[in-house]
């Protein structure tokens, strides 16, 4: 039971975060073991000088609710001439590249539950503050419902019809992905106890404690084509064709990754009948070493230092992200899988891409976790959009035991699908999670050799940890263009071994000039990498 607790509390994420304070000392396996600011402020970042817009062939703007004057996040913005476009960011802001459009081309602003507004490029040149009017009608005025068709039964049908509505098909999706990570170490105190490892002495432990950044921000923007194979459970169902990848990462984070190589080498030097064990008081467990995974991580670390990134590593990480859009996670999609934990209210109806949809709000009962709104197609029962979050006072995992505390204290998610060729395709999703962790324990990493009666201790390092950490991790994925391809086209495409990574000190619009990406937030624009 205790080992299960540590596993869920400190499971490893695909990118560096401050939990590696433990990982640096005791390997990545040990982590597994422990494992609109105001409208004026937001809008001031958009630089709406009309002369500048004409010169740069870009439109910066913000999309707002007509009555409430609140931001409309993740709204669709579509160029009707080529059916391409982007979405607004979490603050309702957008950036459009209009270099290939003429002044009479139409741009459509669409937000579920609101009236669509179509404007020409010339109209947007003079005004980039767009207001949409809410458009939700009373379903009872149009439909007659049977007694057993209540909001909860409608929501249940999303999972019941999941595989008929969201079919897997071979396709090529031009995709933009943004990942952001913020970490704050409120307290860090590592006390060296003893070590029989020559590489891990008091001097090294002190160096690690000094190098760990107390506040760090990193983000990675990726633009490329994702190739999907239309046969479920195929071992290579996803391939990646990168166009551009930009990353901001603090220098200290790169230094820490270099220090990790010490532990990689230690685990690589594990002979036959030797094994590693983690121990903290009476709690302990063996470290599982995956040599193939270790090799992949070493290749990735080597490529990062050479300004290239292992494509396979990013593909695996992206494949993991896409699981969110499958509804399979009962933790992320509890309100779909465990409807009895929620109270559902049928707000009304609206029209999405010429389909009538239900608009349903939900709040948690005692055991539920989320509140939000879902839009479900009346005929197919496909969920075409969902926006939800933890309400005040609700958390995910929350544990405090044996000197270790972990809490998932923030979550928000938004997802949207488009109906194409009779099936619903992912258009975008955003997911943000916040966690806090504290550790106050003595921890040991031990290398042992198996013997007949009593295993022999070969090496040991013991340290005391007193650590408080807060983290926020978010991802946004936008499908810019979708094309159907054959299974043969998928198999014929050869994935490159490396992605070229562009490292920056601060967000730079020039890097993405010519592309319609998700507009960065005010915080991203203002953040500058520490020297």
Secondary structure of 264-298 as H, E, C letters: HHHHHCCCCCEEEEEEECCEEEECCCCHHHHHHHH
Question: Has residue 332 got a pLDDT over 80?
Answer: yes
Cβ-Cβ contacts under 8 Å for 458 (sequence gap 6 or more): 274, 447, 448, 449
Q: Can you list the positions of beta strands (E) in 34-75? A: 58-65
pLDDT bucket at 227, cuts 50 / 70 / 90: very high
Tell me the residue ranges of DSSP E strands in 89-170: 93-97, 106-110, 117-120, 129-132
State the distance between the two ends of the chain, measured CA to CA, in whole angstroms: 44
| DSSP string across 11-27 | PPPSS--TTHHHHHHHH
What pLDDT was estimated at residue 17?
A: 43
d(CA 109, CA 116): 6
- Please give the Cα distance from 38 to 41 (Å, whole number): 5
Per-residue confidence band for 466, with pLDDT thresholds at 50, 70 and 90: very high
Mean pLDDT of 493-514: 82
Lowest mean per-residue pLDDT among 2-6, 255-259, 323-327 = 2-6
Closest CA to 173 of 255, 218, 108, 239: 239
* Fold for the domain defined by 39-137: Immunoglobulin-like (2.60.40)
Lowest mean pLDDT among 219-228, 244-253, 291-300, 381-390: 291-300
Residue 444, pLDDT > 70, answer yes
Spatial separation of the C-alpha atoms in residues 112 and 299, rounded to whole Å = 44
Q: Which helix (H) or strand (E) holds 135?
A: none
Please say if the pLDDT value at position 31 is more than 50: no
Q: Specify the pLDDT at position 481.
A: 85
What are the DSSP calls for 197-210, one per residue? -TTS-HHHHHHHHH
Asked whether the beta carbons of 189 and 330 are under 8 A apart, the reply is no
Distance CA 211, CA 430 (A): 32
pLDDT tens digits along 453-462: 888 989 898 9
Residue ranges matching CATH 2.60.40.1120 in the chain? 39-137
Q: Look at strands 171-195 and 129-132 and give their pairing.
A: unpaired
pLDDT of residue 301: 43
pLDDT at site 42: 38
Q: Is the pLDDT of residue 24 over 50?
A: no
Query: Which tokens hold the place of 406?
Result: 């972990």
Q: Say whether pLDDT at 386 is over 60.
A: yes
Res. 217: pLDDT tops 60? yes
Q: Which H helix or E strand runs over 88?
A: none
Residue 287 clears pLDDT 90, i.e. is over it = no
pLDDT at res. 170: 86
Does the structure show a pLDDT above 70 at 487? yes
Average pLDDT, the chain: 79
* pLDDT value, residue 529: 54
What is d(CA 385, CA 355) in angstroms, rounded to the nearest whole number?
A: 13
Q: For residue range 91-148, what is the model confidence (pLDDT) as tens digits?
A: 888 888 777 788 888 888 988 888 889 988 888 764 588 899 887 666 655 554 444 5
Q: With H, G, I as helix, E, B as strand and everything else as coil, classify residue 155.
A: helix
Query: Phi first, then psi: what are they for 252, rounded to 5°?
Result: -60, -35
Angle at 521 between CA 520 and CA 526, to 5 degrees: 95
CA–CA distance, 92 with 68 (Å, rounded to integer): 13
384 neighbors 426 (Cβ within 8 angstroms): no
CB 260 within 8 A of CB 20: yes
Burial status of residue 109 (CB atoms within 10 A of its CB: 0-12, 13-18, 19 or more): buried
- CA–centroid distance for 504 within its chain: 21
Q: What pLDDT, on the 0 to 100 scale, is given for residue 520? A: 75
Q: Which residues pair with 475 in a beta bridge?
A: 179, 431
Cross-strand bridge partners of residue 370: none
Assess contact for 88 and 36: CB atoms under 8 A.
Answer: no
How far apart are the C-alpha atoms of 62 and 89, rounded to whole Å?
9
Determine what percent of the chain is predicted with pLDDT higher than 70.
77
Q: Of 224-233, 365-374, 517-526, where does mean pLDDT reach its minimum? A: 517-526
| More reliable by pLDDT, 73 or 20 | 73
Residue 376 and residue 362 in contact, taking contact as beta carbons nearer than 8 Å: no
Residue keyed to tokens 């809008």: 43
Task: List beta partners, residue 277.
Answer: 286, 446
């Amino acid at each position: 039971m205790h080992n299960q607790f540590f596993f869920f509390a400190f499971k490893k994420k695909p990118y560096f975060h401050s939990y590696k304070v433990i990982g640096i000392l005791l390997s990545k396996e040990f982590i597994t073991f422990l494992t609109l600011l105001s409208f004026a402020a937001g809008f001031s970042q958009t630089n709406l000088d009309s002369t500048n817009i004409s010169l740069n062939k870009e439109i910066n703007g913000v999309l707002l609710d007509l009555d409430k004057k609140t931001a409309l996040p993740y709204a669709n913005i579509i160029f009707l001439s080529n059916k391409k476009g982007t979405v607004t960011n979490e603050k309702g802001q957008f950036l459009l590249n209009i270099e290939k459009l003429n002044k009479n081309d139409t741009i459509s602003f669409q937000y579920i539950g609101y009236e669509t507004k179509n404007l020409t490029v010339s109209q947007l040149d003079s005004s980039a503050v767009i207001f949409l009017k809410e458009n939700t009608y009373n379903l009872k005025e149009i439909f007659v419902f049977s007694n057993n068709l209540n909001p909860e039964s409608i929501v249940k049908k999303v999972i019941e019809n999941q595989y008929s509505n969201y079919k897997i098909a071979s396709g090529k999706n031009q995709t933009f992905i943004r990942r952001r990570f913020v970490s704050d170490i409120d307290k860090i105190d590592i006390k060296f106890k003893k070590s029989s490892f020559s590489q891990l002495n008091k001097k090294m432990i002190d160096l690690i404690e000094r190098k760990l950044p107390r506040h760090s921000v990193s983000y990675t923007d990726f633009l490329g084509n994702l190739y999907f194979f239309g046969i479920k459970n195929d071992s290579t169902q996803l391939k990646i064709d990168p166009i551009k990848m930009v990353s901001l990462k603090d220098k200290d984070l790169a230094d820490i990754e270099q220090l990790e190589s010490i532990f990689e080498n230690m685990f690589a030097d594990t002979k036959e009948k030797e094994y590693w064990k983690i121990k903290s008081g009476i709690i302990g467990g063996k470290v599982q070493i995956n040599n193939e995974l270790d090799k992949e991580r070493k290749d990735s670390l080597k490529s990062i230092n050479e300004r290239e990134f292992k494509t396979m590593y990013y593909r695996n990480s992206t494949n993991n992200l896409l699981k969110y859009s499958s509804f399979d996670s009962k933790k992320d999609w509890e309100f779909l899988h465990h409807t009895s934990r929620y109270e559902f209210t049928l707000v009304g109806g609206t029209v999405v891409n010429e389909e009538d949809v239900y608009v349903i709000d939900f709040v948690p009962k005692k055991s539920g976790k989320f509140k939000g709104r879902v839009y479900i197609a009346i005929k197919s029962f496909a969920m075409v959009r969902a926006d939800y979050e933890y309400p005040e006072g609700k958390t995910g995992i929350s544990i405090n035991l044996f000197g270790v505390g972990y809490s998932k204290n923030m979550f928000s998610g938004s997802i949207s699908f488009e109906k194409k060729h009779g099936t619903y395709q992912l258009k975008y999703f955003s997911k943000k999670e916040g966690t806090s962790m504290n550790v106050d324990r003595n921890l040991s990493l031990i290398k042992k050799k198996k013997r007949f009666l009593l295993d022999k201790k070969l090496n040991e390092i013991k340290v005391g940890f007193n650590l408080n950490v807060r983290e926020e991790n978010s991802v946004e994925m936008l499908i810019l263009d979708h094309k159907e391809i054959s299974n043969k086209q998928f198999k014929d495409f050869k994935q490159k071994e490396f992605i070229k990574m562009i490292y920056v000190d601060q967000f730079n619009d020039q890097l993405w000039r010519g592309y319609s990406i998700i507009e960065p937030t005010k915080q991203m624009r203002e953040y500058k990498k520490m020297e």
